[in-house]
């Protein structure tokens, strides 16, 4: 939506999100380190656990999204994935072999 006005908008937003995520993890490590009475091994183990839980939640959410997409495609009777692909430029392109 903002690409015509700000061509690097997506990249800037991704950078901000990842930077905040990294700062959050560092802050959480410091907090765990304090809670564990300055024992680094327990703080690292806690951080690894938090990362594993976040990954599991993200994978579960992705699986649910894929299931919803499959159900929608079955209802429509079309499979867009087989006839085209989304380009990095932000447009849908029909593949040459699907004509």
- Does the pLDDT value for residue 82 go beyond 60? no
Indicate whether 1 belongs to any domain: no
Total-model pTM: 0.58
Indicate whether 88 belongs to any domain: yes
pLDDT, one tens digit per residue, over 50-64 is: 999 999 999 999 988
- Does the pLDDT value for residue 15 go beyond 90? yes
Indicate whether 68 belongs to any domain: yes
Indicate whether 43 belongs to any domain: yes
93 confidence band (pLDDT: 50, 70, 90): low
Provide CB contacts within 8 A for 12, sequence distance 6+.
6
pLDDT, one tens digit per residue, over 28-58 is: 999 999 999 999 999 999 999 999 999 999 9
- C-alpha torsion angle, residues 34, 40, 41, 45 (rounded to 10): 50
CA distance linking residue 59 with residue 69, whole number of Å = 15
Number of structural domains in the chain: 1
Indicate whether 4 belongs to any domain: no
Indicate whether 2 belongs to any domain: no
Indicate whether 53 belongs to any domain: yes
Give the sign of the dihedral formed by CA 38, CA 39, CA 41, CA 45.
negative
Give the domain range for residue 37: 9-98
CB 56 within 8 A of CB 66: no
Joined tokens for residue 98: 């699907």
């Amino acid at each position: 939506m903002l690409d015509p006005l700000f061509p690097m908008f997506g990249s800037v937003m991704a950078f901000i999100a990842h930077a905040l995520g990294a700062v959050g993890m560092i802050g959480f490590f410091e907090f765990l380190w304090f809670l564990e009475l300055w024992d680094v091994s327990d703080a690292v183990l806690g951080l690894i656990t938090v990362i594993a839980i976040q990954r599991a939640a993200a994978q579960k959410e992705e699986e649910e999204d894929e299931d919803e997409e499959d159900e929608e495609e079955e209802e429509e009777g079309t499979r867009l994935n087989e006839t085209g692909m989304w380009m990095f430029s932000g447009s849908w392109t029909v593949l040459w072999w699907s004509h």
